Every structure is written in structure tokens, then in C-alpha cells.
């Protein structure tokens, strides 16, 4: 034991595993065991922030202290306790963004690895992502993952794990959120210092998406290790279920308008259906005025000839032509969910021989 402690003290902390924790007793032991089992032998710290847990999470942490000491991994635990208001009443947890920020503040590693208290890392995660992050210090590095129970969110998992390197940069405006999922993030501390901190608004706020867009605005890059390095647990109490899809829609749209549409003199919208029309209505007037037409393949929509938008406060009502997708001229925004037409949509898009991120972007 004394030898393990001495060895730990000789090695500076290279990687801080950042874990926000709230009522995680059901799964916590598995997450802790996955930290203990890492193939990276030295320079590892686990920094936990307990966000007002009322179950036995803290008791489980205490039962693991000796194991971490024996393994030579520094264990830093910050107990947020019960946050009280001016009336003395307990206000409960402050949220994931708050907890992540406090865990990072208490940590000292050069690199940050994010791990939710209900997920499980593969034994090679720290070793593999550290090597990649050393070569790409300006990037958020993610990885492939699998869900438990198996096949949970199958289409989402398939999308996230199959994106090409270029698509990691270009498909950032979809309703799926960041193109590298938050539980797999690994980065140099300077990435957090430049783009952070995480938004602390609490429940219902997609703090990962807001941070991700801030990171991109500051010139940060995105990378992914194609090895499956995380078991990403799916359950009804996960924080992601508190986030409203309309919130993600509004944040992504604002980012798209600022970073892309503001640079295009005009553009079209692929999809004259429900999502395409919703996208058009949600645009600011300056962006709506740039829309040349809708594109579609559905004969019923094409027969309409145009879409008159009576939902916006403009007179006369905007009227936008609807044309066959082959008549579209780049650039355009594609408001289509992928992998829902048996490959027909993807074949149509490929037939135009255009470049994603230059000639078109996906939204929604």
C-alpha cells in the first residue's frame, strides 16, 4: 500500500476523469470499477462532484477510497451537500453543468475525460483517447460507444458512430446534438478554459450542446476514436430526457443562422413538408428573405407549386416556390431525417455530386 501511494505521488496528474454525480447508487460501482480497471497505469485522477445526492452514493464512494489508494489513482470528492435558499429550505441539485464545472475546478489534470456516473469505460479508454488528444490538443475527442440495454436508440447510435471525420464538423446542426456524444468527450484542459464553463442554468438546459457550439466558435476541432470505448446507459432518469427538443431546435437554428446562413447570399430548403416549413417559419426575416425555393420529390407537394406562409407577421404573406430537388441550386439546407427512406433520399442526394458543408448542410 505504501509503495502504491509513493508511486502515485511521483507521477503528476495527466488525466482527470470528471464525474458529476446525483443519486447514482444503482450504477455507481460499475462506473468506479471501470476507472480502476484502466490500462493507463499512472497520472490518473477521478474528480467527483456530489450534487445533493440523497441515496447512498457518498457511502459507495467512501467504500472505494482504499481501492483507489491501492491502485494509485487520486480520488477527489467535492460534496455539494444540500443547497439551501434564503428561507432555509433545501433546493436540491444544481444541475449537470454546475456539477461538471465544480468537478473540473477541483481537478488538476492536464487532460479532462468526462464520465457520467451511470456509464462504464472500456479499460483502454484513457490510454487511447490520451494518445489522440496529444496529437490534437485543440479538439474535443469522442469515441464510438454502445448502449445498454442493447439496441436502445439504435438509429442515433448508428449515426453517431458512423459519421466520417468531415461529417463530424458538418452535421453539427441536427437535432441529435453534438456529433461526438458528451459521455465520450476527452480534451486538453485548454479546450475547457477557452470554450467554457458549462452553462449552469440547470434542468432542461443542453449544456453539452451550448459548450460544443462555443468550442466551434472559438476555432476548436472535433475528432473521434473509432474504437468502442464506452457503455452509454439508457434509462428513464437520464438527464438527457429533461431537455426539450424545441430548445435544441432553437439553439441549433440560431447557430446555423450565425455561422452559415449569414454568409450565404441566398439558399433553398430541401423538404417542403412539415419540418422544412417549420424551419422556414422559424428563420429570422433576414434569413427568410434569402430563401429561393423549397425542393422536394413528392408529387403532391410539387403539384401545389408554392408554399404561402400565413403564420408569420408579414404582409403580403411570403410565397415560396416548390420545385423538384434536381432543380435546386447550391447552397441549400436539408431538413430531412436520414436513413428513413430505404436509401432513396441518400441516393438522390449523392446523384447531385455536391460537397457537404459547402453546397449543403443538414438541419433538424
Q: Is residue 249 a part of any domain in this protein?
A: no
- The residue that leads in pLDDT, 244 or 275, is 275
Confidence of residue 260 (pLDDT cuts 50, 70, 90): very high
Average pLDDT over residues 343-350: 93
* Summary count for the chain: helices (H), strands (E): 14, 14
Predicted pLDDT at 264: 98
Asked if 334 and 362 touch (Cβ cutoff 8 Å), the reply is yes
pLDDT tens column, 29-87? 999 999 999 999 899 999 999 999 999 999 999 999 999 999 999 999 999 866 545 55
- Least confidently predicted of 64-68, 91-95, 127-131: 91-95
145 and 115, same structural domain? yes
Determine the Cα–Cα distance for residues 148 and 95; give it in Å rounded to an integer: 23
Most confident of 103-117, 151-165, 336-350: 103-117
- Cα 102–chain centre separation: 19
Determine the Cα–Cα distance for residues 184 and 177; give it in Å rounded to an integer: 13
- From 294, 297, 291, select the one nearest 267 (Cα to Cα): 291
Q: Is residue 250 a part of any domain in this protein?
A: no
DSSP string, 112-147: EEE--TT-EE-TTHHHHHHHHHHH-TTEEEEEEEEE
101 and 9, same structural domain? yes
Global confidence as pTM: 0.92
Q: How many CA atoms lie within 13 A of 27 on its CB side?
A: 22
Is the per-residue pLDDT at 91 higher than 90? no
272 and 235, same structural domain? no
- Cα 301–chain centre separation: 34
- Total number of domains constituting the chain: 2
Interior/surface letters 45-59, b for 16+ CB within 10 angstroms, e for the rest: bbbbbbbbbeeebbe
Asked if 103 and 48 touch (Cβ cutoff 8 Å), the reply is yes
187 and 43, same structural domain? yes
The grid coordinates of residue 104 equal 473540473
Predicted pLDDT at 90: 55
Residue where the block lists cell 434536381 = 326
Task: Tell me phi and psi for residue 267, to 5 degrees.
Answer: -165, 165
Confidence of residue 4 (pLDDT cuts 50, 70, 90): very low
292 and 208, same structural domain? no
- The residue that leads in pLDDT, 337 or 294, is 294
Determine the Cα–Cα distance for residues 40 and 44; give it in Å rounded to an integer: 8
Residue where a domain terminates, one of 192, 216, 243: 243
- Least confidently predicted of 74-78, 186-190, 243-247, 277-281: 243-247
218 and 128, same structural domain? yes
Predicted pLDDT at 87: 52
176 and 289, same structural domain? no
Mean pLDDT of the chain: 92
Q: Is residue 248 a part of any domain in this protein?
A: no
- Domain span at residue 56 reads 2-243
Predicted pLDDT at 1: 46
267 and 308, same structural domain? yes
Residue where a domain terminates, one of 209, 243, 277: 243
pLDDT tens column, 143-154? 999 999 988 889
Residue where a domain terminates, one of 173, 208, 243: 243
* CATH code for position 163: 3.90.550.10
Is the per-residue pLDDT at 88 higher than 80? no
Determine the Cα–Cα distance for residues 211 and 177; give it in Å rounded to an integer: 11
Residue 26's Cβ-count burial label (10 Å; 0-12, 13-18, 19+) is middle
Which helix (DSSP H) or strand (DSSP E) does residue 293 occupy? strand 291-296
Predicted pLDDT at 312: 87
DSSP string, 32-50: HHHHHT-S--SSEEEEEEE
301 and 174, same structural domain? no
Pairing of strands 221-233, 120-121: antiparallel
- From 109, 80, 105, 107, select the one nearest 94 (Cα to Cα): 80
Determine the Cα–Cα distance for residues 325 and 264; give it in Å rounded to an integer: 19
Amino acid at each position: 500500500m505504501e509503495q502504491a501511494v509513493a508511486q502515485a505521488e511521483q507521477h503528476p496528474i495527466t488525466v482527470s476523469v470528471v464525474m458529476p454525480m446525483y443519486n447514482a447508487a444503482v450504477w455507481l460501482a460499475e462506473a468506479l470499477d471501470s476507472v480502476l480497471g484502466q490500462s493507463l497505469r499512472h497520472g490518473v485522477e477521478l474528480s467527483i462532484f456530489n450534487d445533493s445526492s440523497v441515496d447512498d452514493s457518498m457511502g459507495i464512494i467512501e467504500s472505494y477510497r482504499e481501492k483507489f489508494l491501492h491502485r494509485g489513482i487520486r480520488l477527489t470528492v467535492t460534496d455539494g451537500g444540500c443547497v439551501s435558499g434564503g428561507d432555509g429550505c433545501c433546493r436540491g441539485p444544481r444541475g449537470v453543468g454546475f456539477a461538471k464545472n465544480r468537478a473540473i475546478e477541483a481537478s488538476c489534470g492536464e487532460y479532462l475525460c468526462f464520465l457520467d456516473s451511470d456509464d462504464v469505460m472500456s479499460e483502454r479508454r484513457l490510454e487511447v483517447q490520451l494518445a489522440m488528444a496529444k496529437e490534437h490538443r485543440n479538439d474535443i475527442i469522442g469515441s464510438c460507444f454502445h448502449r445498454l440495454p442493447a439496441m436502445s436508440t439504435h438509429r442515433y447510435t448508428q449515426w453517431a458512430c458512423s459519421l466520417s471525420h468531415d461529417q463530424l464538423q458538418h452535421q453539427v446542426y441536427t437535432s441529435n446534438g453534438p456529433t461526438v456524444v458528451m459521455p465520450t468527450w476527452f480534451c486538453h484542459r485548454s479546450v475547457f478554459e477557452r470554450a467554457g464553463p458549462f452553462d449552469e442554468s440547470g434542468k432542461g438546459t443542453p449544456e453539452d450542446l451550448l459548450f460544443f457550439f462555443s468550442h466551434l466558435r472559438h476555432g476548436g476541432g472535433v475528432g473521434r476514436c473509432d474504437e468502442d470505448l464506452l457503455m452509454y446507459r439508457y434509462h428513464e432518469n437520464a438527464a438527457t430526457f429533461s431537455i426539450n427538443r424545441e430548445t435544441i431546435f432553437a439553439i441549433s437554428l440560431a447557430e446555423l443562422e450565425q455561422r452559415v446562413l449569414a454568409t450565404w447570399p441566398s439558399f433553398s430548403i430541401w423538404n417542403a413538408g412539415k419540418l422544412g416549413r417549420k424551419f422556414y417559419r422559424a428563420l429570422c426575416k433576414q434569413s427568410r428573405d434569402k430563401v429561393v425555393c423549397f425542393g422536394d420529390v413528392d408529387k403532391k407537394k410539387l403539384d401545389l407549386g408554392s408554399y404561402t406562409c400565413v403564420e408569420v407577421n408579414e404582409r403580403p404573406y411570403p410565397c415560396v416556390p416548390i420545385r423538384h430537388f434536381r432543380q435546386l441550386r447550391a447552397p441549400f439546407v436539408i431538413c430531412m431525417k436520414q436513413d428513413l427512406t430505404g436509401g432513396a433520399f441518400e441516393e438522390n442526394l449523392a446523384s447531385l455530386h455536391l460537397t457537404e458543408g459547402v453546397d449543403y448542410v443538414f438541419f433538424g
